[in-house]
Structure 1
Amino acid sequence: MTNALTRLALVALTIGFAGCSQSTNDSTEATGGPVVMDELPPTLDDAGGHPVHGPHGGDLVELGKEDFHAELVHGGDGISMYVLDGSATKMVPIPSESLVISLKHNGQVATFDLAANPEPGSTSGQSARFTSTDTKLDEWLDAGAEGAVVIQIDGKSFTGKVVHSHDHAGHQH
């Protein structure tokens, strides 16, 4: 969150100073050039300042008071959950073999395991990505089931509310 806001503030200040650097003397040229960005900054929500969707296009789950996030990606390849940092932009590998999501739907409660599925090059025994191809989990998320995930990070337990958004613009489904 801080990096994105800092970056946006620096761009705004650079543009502001470039506009103010011109003097009333017409013979003086502005010394600044155009600001060039490699990519657009992420779309930020109004409340927390973090991206609206995670880096994989999924729904964000707040863990703690924005200490960490989880990203729930619900698509044709199954369900993936990524553990992310407080800015919701960088993956945080944890030493866990699985994550457990508990959901409630139509008066029923069920738990679903997402197995560690480390990205190539990850440290042995750690993963930031957890996946499942459980069709019941897929169906329940599609139907709007809600629940929670508990994730252990650096010896602390973080609980996040799991809700699948049906606003499908900008992410997989």
Structure 2
Amino acid sequence: MRSYHYTLFAAVITVFVSGCGDKKSETTSSGTDDSSITMDAPPPTTVDVHVHPTEGPHHGSLIELGNEEYHAELVHDEDSVTIYILNGPATEAVPIDAKEVTINLLHDGTPEQFKLAASADAADPSGKSSRFSLSDAELVGHIDDESAAPKLMVTINGTPYRGELAHDHDHAGHDH
């Protein structure tokens, strides 16, 4: 019985040692041996080349909705605020069946809510809108205030989305 264990042990060692030889190259898929190809390390990690848009088609700041499933674009002047609903890459309008979208914010620590009514764009189909507007000097006054922590609330195809409004003051060609 002892000789059986020694034989088994010797067989395992032989298989282990023969499988651990120095491999200088691997055979390529064409069946030729190319010594410049080695497979000693894992393949390099891929780089995320996903481009994040920085400005909307109306030159407004973007609001991410979901995991970039959609974007909203914030455009405002001294008298009014407009929100455009856009696709994930923020390149095209997405008309939705909502009658309004909501901006929630804090003013001196007190929550306030502003409803922006649907204001269909010329290209929007009947009963849907990709544009929502409100003329309200109070909202305009708070929209860029970081302490107001403004958030957009919108429902798209039955799914509620919330996005933070972070306005960039460093872009050129934009009036406040």
Classify the TM-score, shorter chain: 0.5 to 0.7
Structure 1 residues 143 and 157, CA gap change in structure 2 (3 angstroms): closer
- Asked if 1:127 is matched to 2:117, the reply is no
Aligned residue pairs: how many? 128
CA distance in structure 2 between the partners assigned to 1:135 and 1:149 by the alignment: 18
- Asked if 1:55 is matched to 2:57, the reply is yes
- The answer on whether the counterparts of 1:57 and 1:172 sit within 8 Å (CA) in structure 2 is no
CA distance in structure 2 between the partners assigned to 1:91 and 1:55 by the alignment: 9
Structure 1 residues 120 and 77, CA gap change in structure 2 (3 angstroms): farther
Q: Secondary structure at 2:139's aligned position in 1?
A: helix
Q: Secondary structure at 1:163's aligned position in 2?
A: coil
Any gaps of 5 or more consecutive residues in structure 1?
A: 1-45
User: Where does structure 1 differ by over 6 angstroms across 4 or more consecutive aligned residues?
Assistant: none
- Asked if 1:68 is matched to 2:78, the reply is no
Deviation at 1:74, TM superposition (A): 1.6
Which TM-score applies when normalising by structure 2? 0.66
How well do the aligned residues superpose, as a CA RMSD in angstroms? Answer: 2.0
Query: Which residue number in structure 1 is paired with residue 150 of structure 2?
Result: 147
Choose 1 or 2 for highest CA Rg. Answer: 2
Deviation at 1:172, TM superposition (A): 4.1
Query: Which residue number in structure 2 is paired with residue 18 of structure 1?
Result: none
- The answer on whether the counterparts of 1:71 and 1:83 sit within 8 Å (CA) in structure 2 is yes
Deviation at 1:91, TM superposition (A): 0.5
CA distance in structure 1 between the partners assigned to 2:115 and 2:100 by the alignment: 6
Query: Which residue number in structure 2 is paired with residue 7 of structure 1?
Result: none
CA distance in structure 2 between the partners assigned to 1:171 and 1:49 by the alignment: 23
- The answer on whether the counterparts of 1:50 and 1:88 sit within 8 Å (CA) in structure 2 is no
Which TM-score applies when normalising by structure 1? 0.67
Any gaps of 5 or more consecutive residues in structure 2?
A: 1-47
